[in-house]
Amino acid sequence: MVFTLNPSGDFYQDLLINSLAEAGFDTFEETGSGFKAFIPASQFKETVLIDVISDYQDKLSVSFEINHIPHKNWNELWESSFEPITIGKECYVRASFHPSKPEYPYEIIINPKMAFGTGHHQTTAMMMEFMLEENLEGKLVRDMGSGTGILAFLAEKLGAATVTAIDNDPVCVESIEENAGLNNCHRISSIEGSKEAIPHLFFDIVFANINRNVLIDHLAAYSKVMKAGAELFLSGFYETDLPVLSAEAEKNNFKFQSSKISDNWTAAKFLKEK
């Protein structure tokens, strides 16, 4: 879908994108007059879209155009627009059709298909920055809302003993299994589902890059499978959402430690207290 906004590119555009993400849109691309948003046709409901837009009618002039993209063309769109990126000086993310750069200690190969998470979005990049700062050696790690599996692959490359990747989209599960082979990763288990699919294991570290409402709903479930001293990293929300998330996290025995901010998007680290 193509959204045309007046004014475009301001704070309310970011809020609208966040609301659309909560309504099921999973990929966004900015344009000169607004942005493009993508959602699987089977999940699209125009009535839901109208409800989301109505919340911004007094702040923005919003018009939209619906375009149906065949599955094959969607994948071609990803490939044509996917450029390699670096995270800090240590991690290089590329597709299989890009040349390797062995000078980077950690190289991740992602063929994204329709799954979210190539490191280009601020939330994914900030989570990867957190990971590069942490000691994952020998840890039991969970990646919620795993998308392409990029965080799971980096976790294994950083020495995690096991990584459990969970996503409610079967395309993501398929993507993780394919990309795991490309990355020579063998300690990742991929599970289709949401909080109900979390195994009854005590995880040392949990990464969850989803959105504010889902994170709030999941916090109690995360708390049940994390011992005191375990670390929780959250992203997929705006800086203005951090106080709400921190308050809810505290109710579930998580104490705020630090955060990263990029273009109003935020990633935060919490410590399980008891």
Whether 134 and 244 map to the same domain: the answer is yes
Instruction: Out of 51, 68, 85, pick the residue that ends a domain.
Output: 68
Report yes or no: 141 and 163 within 8 Å, Cβ to Cβ. yes
pLDDT > 90? residue 24 = no
Whether 243 and 121 map to the same domain: the answer is yes
> Is 261 inside a domain boundary?
yes
Whether 63 and 168 map to the same domain: the answer is no
pLDDT at residue 112, as a whole number: 62
pLDDT at residue 249, as a whole number: 97
Whether 135 and 260 map to the same domain: the answer is yes
> Is 78 inside a domain boundary?
no
Min mean pLDDT across 61-75, 86-100, 163-177 is at 61-75
Whether 135 and 251 map to the same domain: the answer is yes
102-124 average pLDDT score: 79
CATH of the domain at 204: 3.40.50.150
pLDDT > 70? residue 73 = no
Band of pLDDT at residue 127, cut at 50, 70 and 90: very high
155-175 average pLDDT score: 92
DSSP 184: T
pLDDT > 60? residue 14 = yes
Residue 38 CA to residue 66 CA, distance in Å, equals 10
Whether 53 and 121 map to the same domain: the answer is no
Band of pLDDT at residue 172, cut at 50, 70 and 90: confident
> Is 90 inside a domain boundary?
no
Residue 76 CA to residue 214 CA, distance in Å, equals 30
> Is 166 inside a domain boundary?
yes
Whether 134 and 259 map to the same domain: the answer is yes
For the question of whether the overall pTM of this predicted structure is more than 0.85, the answer is: no
8-17 average pLDDT score: 77
> Is 128 inside a domain boundary?
yes
> Is 100 inside a domain boundary?
no
> Could you count the other beta carbons within 10 Å of the beta carbon of residue 94?
21
- Average pLDDT for the chain: 89
DSSP state string for 45-72: -HHHHHHHHHTTTTT-EEEEE-----HH
Share of the chain above pLDDT 90, in %: 57
CATH of the domain at 14: 3.30.70
Band of pLDDT at residue 51, cut at 50, 70 and 90: very high
Whether 147 and 57 map to the same domain: the answer is no
> Is 254 inside a domain boundary?
yes
Whether 39 and 166 map to the same domain: the answer is no
Whether 132 and 227 map to the same domain: the answer is yes
**Overall number of domains in the chain:** 2
36-52 average pLDDT score: 88
Per DSSP, helices labelled H in the chain are: 11-22, 46-54, 71-81, 122-133, 150-157, 170-182, 212-224, 242-251
Residue with tokens 């104490």: 255
What's the pLDDT tens digit per position in 248-270?
A: 999 999 999 999 999 889 999 99
Residue 156 CA to residue 142 CA, distance in Å, equals 11
pLDDT > 90? residue 75 = no
pLDDT at residue 71, as a whole number: 60
Give 184: exposed, middle or buried? Use CB within 10 Å, 0-12, 13-18, 19+: exposed
- Going by C-alpha positions, the residue among 50, 44, 35 that lies closest to residue 4 is 35
Q: Which domain does 207 fall in, by range?
A: 117-272
What's the pLDDT tens digit per position in 225-240?
A: 999 999 999 998 889 9
pLDDT at residue 196, as a whole number: 94
> Is 83 inside a domain boundary?
no
Whether 15 and 128 map to the same domain: the answer is no
Whether 136 and 226 map to the same domain: the answer is yes
Most confident of 53-62, 63-72, 202-211: 202-211
What's the pLDDT tens digit per position in 173-209?
A: 888 988 999 999 999 999 999 999 999 999 999 999 9
